[in-house]
Chain A
Amino acid sequence: MKIVSNGLWMMTSHSRPALFNSPLETGIRSLEILVAAYPAAFDLERLVEMDYLVVHSGDADGPESLHAALPMRAGELLIRRGLIEKGLLLMTSRNLIQRIPAEDGFDYIAGDAAAPFLSSLTSTYSQRLKERAQWAVERFTGVETSRIRQITHRLFENWSSQFQAIDRSRGNQ
């Protein structure tokens, strides 16, 4: 029975990447964050932090985490920045998000069609996502991105920031 149950676990883990954290999913998450933040604009770095906080809100004393706790959560981090970037690009292609140049790089801001589009989504998951995005934006309004990163670093402990460093180096390539 043990083997069978492990098999179940592995099968789900294996089949996940194709759908989960796809540009569509990460794009929708970024879109929710930017709509909640509107009219503020976030750069990629802040969106990565906010995305983490939305998904793992429970860890940061927020609402119950959107995703269940998973020992292998570090796996997500490896590819988060790249995935988020791809999602942003997909959303930009439909004009749901606009990329605007700023002094220190690009910022992203929700487009005009973003809010009506999101309000058409009625699934439970979408509702919960919306709540957490609103919580995260409200909770961290006026908090420096570097400060937020300190918080997520603390949540992840040292190993997580190492993955993040790898993540960033890949993202910068």
Chain B
Amino acid sequence: MSSSYLQLRRIAFSGPKKMAEMTFSNGVNVVCGASDTGKSFLAESLDFMLGGSELRDIPQRTPFGEVQFDLDVTSGEKWRFYRASSGGNFKAKNLIEENAEIEVLKKDHGHGKIDNMSGFLLDKIGLLGKRILRSKKKGSTQSLSFRNLARLAIVQEGEIQQTGSPFWGGQYTLKTAELATIKLLLTGVDDSDVVETKWVGTNRAKQIELIDELLADIRQEIADVGEEEAGLIAQIGRLDGTIEQRRKTLNAIQAQLDSLLAQRRELVDVRTAIQDRLDEIADLLTRFDLLLEHYAVDIERLTAIQESGAMFAHVESVPCPLCGASPEAQQHDAACDGDVEAIVQAACAEIEKIARLKGELQATVADLKSEAVSQEQELSNKNEEYENVNTQIQETVAPTVSEERASFSELIEKRAEVQKGLDLYARMAKLEERKISLEEDEGEEGSSGAIASGLPDSVAHDFSLRVSKLLKAWDFPGDCLVHFDKETTDFVIDGKPRGSRGKGLRAITHAAVTIALLEYCLENDLPHPGFVVLDSPLLAYFKPEGDEDRQLQGTNLKESFYSDLINHHSTDSQIVIFENQHPPDSVLDGLSMTVFTGNPNDGREGFL
């Protein structure tokens, strides 16, 4: 099997107005310059583009929204990756195939899948789908992520000088997995076989297994959300502010609408009352007209009675045509209501009475008519008011309310969505916490019963020899006898544990282990990312600490270090070194060098 390796080619920060880029070639690349010129940020950016979760937010980053990253695979592929500087998923473009579509790569690892950055990169170096041991005791394993490898290939300034083993990041619960990663690189054998045994483990192992499955699901869901937790929290904070503001606006405008509606209802009531009164007046006027008509007829009638009565009085009485009684004997007046004279007189009086009533009624009618006119006027005023209020409601306030309401519920929906994302993170944190506590229990038990794991002795020996050889080549002081202490999982050099040495010595030995791992893998055709990024391996020359470090400065370690690297790394492997000090002039021919002057008037001031 011939392994493929990755080569860093270019990293560029691009913004709407500017672009900052840095290219890398095969072999040894040195980026040197004063402090605060962006060297460490550049190293972190490389890690970020290889799937790191977030990028340090420095002020110089602000104008750049996107990071581009070019990577070659020694098998011949060329890829360009894009990622927002704020994080999230990647986009990948095949630079060889012209018409290839841009692929989206999720930022979170998924076992055996290449739809994510980790799986994509693992696939290129032949490590896709590998499993590494997580718990010695339970025999549980986890999916190998590119992140497990990245920390072995990219060593940041803080890590290079740490006292712990170069093989593990310091988190106790991850120790087994980190060692398993080294074992996988050094032996090419993963821990997939262990899978079977994990089912015979205790309930705890099963619980962890279950939690892992749940975590994988949640990570997938989080990947779909595509936002970091901090981003979501900031977003929900902003949303809450906006919602509160909108609620106030909505309440205010709703109150305005309510008051207008009340006003409209009141106007309707007033209008109805006026209309009722107008109807009543119309009714009364109709009846009064009839009454007036009666009065008129009555007066006419009475006048006729008066006249006919007066005339009638002059007509002579005749003897009764039936019985022959003389008029004198007849008693019409009393018996037959025939007292014509009295009737005439009464008619006169009645005419006057009715005339008076008629006058009164006419006055009443006039009052009613004038009241009707003023009520009509009032009604038309109220109609106008009603129309104004109604127009205001229908054309201005009501649409504003429904608009506000719509955008408000949109905000609420958006907030619920963001909250859902946050809940995912909360669930993930809870599960991880639970898992850690289970693993800690497990770890305690595991430490009591020694289980054969980690590096096989023979491999550890071979690798230790490799480190020893490197140190000698670099003119490291002393005999450079190196052996691997399984207990501390760190190296002992000339009888002194590596971690107990000074900061400068820790840095150079960390570099030695890291480069030894690369060289060991290359020589044995074993998978490895194929490149190494070291931030300040020659720390002792810049910031010595203690006598040991100062001793180092007296040697020609610096020249030997560079010339050895140049001799061994030219084509298929790549070493990127960030340093404060320039490499010695004697080695400059064999390496690519970029200088950040830190001076705006001289060369390149800094990375961004």
Contact = CB atoms under 8 A, between A and B. Distances in A.
B305 A19 contact: yes
B303 interface: yes
Q: Which of A5, A24, A123 has the most CB of B within 10 A?
A: A24
Nearest to A67: B297
A108 B443 CA distance: 141
Given A12-B295, A68-B294, A113 B340 contact: no
A102 interface: no
A94 interface: yes
Interface string A6-42: 0011011001101110111100100000000000000
Interface string A89-112: 110111110110000000000000
A154 B88 CA distance: 98
A94 B303 contact: no
Contacts of B312: 24, 28, 94, 117
Contact of B318 (A11, A23, A66, A95): A95
Interface in A46-82: 66-70
A94 B316 contact: yes
A121 interface: yes
Interface stretch (A124-132, A138-146, A155-163, A165-173): A124-132
A69 B297 CA distance: 11
Contacts of B321: 92, 95, 98-99
Contacts of A124: 300, 303-304
Contacts of A28: 304, 308, 312
B304 A96 contact: no
Contacts of A70: 294
Given A19-B305, A125-B304, A93 B317 contact: yes
A16 B315 CA distance: 26
A126 B307 contact: yes
A153 interface: no
A93 B361 contact: no
Given A67-B297, A98-B321, A117-B311, A123 B303 contact: yes
Contacts of A11: 357
B320 A20 contact: no
B325 to A, nearest CB: 10
Contact of A8 (B293, B300, B360): B360
Nearest to A2: B284
Interface string B475-486: 000000000000
Interface residues of A, number: 44
Contacts of A69: 290
Contact of B300 (A16, A113, A121, A125): A125
B338 A90 contact: yes
A28 B295 CA distance: 21
Interface in B39-72: none
A66 B296 CA distance: 11
A90 B336 contact: yes
Nearest to A31: B308
Contact of B305 (A8, A25, A89, A90): A25
A173 B309 CA distance: 29
B60 to A, nearest CB: 91
A20 B343 CA distance: 10
A19 to B, nearest CB: 6
B291 interface: yes
Given A19-B347, A68-B294, A93-B320, A24 B338 contact: yes
B364 interface: yes
Given A23-B338, A90-B332, A99-B321, A12 B307 contact: no
B337 interface: yes
A2 B287 CA distance: 11
Contact of A96 (B294, B301, B315): B315
A24 B336 contact: no
Contacts of A99: 321-322
Given A4-B364, A24-B309, A117-B315, A123 B304 contact: yes
Contacts of A23: 336-338
A93 B294 CA distance: 32
A22 B317 contact: no
Contacts of B307: 121-123, 126
A149 interface: no
Given A19-B347, A92-B321, A93-B327, A12 B301 contact: no
Contacts of B353: 15
Contacts of A24: 305, 308-309, 312, 338, 340, 343
A88 to B, nearest CB: 10
16 contacts: A5-B291, A8-B361, A12-B357, A19-B302, A19-B346, A25-B304, A25-B308, A68-B290, A69-B290, A94-B316, A113-B315, A120-B311, A123-B304, A124-B303, A128-B300, A129-B304
Interface of A: 1-2, 4-5, 8-9, 11-12, 15-16, 18-20, 22-25, 28, 66-70, 86, 89-90, 92-96, 98-99, 113, 117, 120-126, 128-129
Given A12-B295, A16-B298, A124-B304, 5 more contacts: A15-B350, A25-B301, A93-B318, A95-B316, A121-B307
7 A-B pairs with the lowest CB-CB distances in the bound complex, closest first: A125-B304, A125-B300, A95-B318, A94-B315, A123-B304, A68-B293, A68-B294
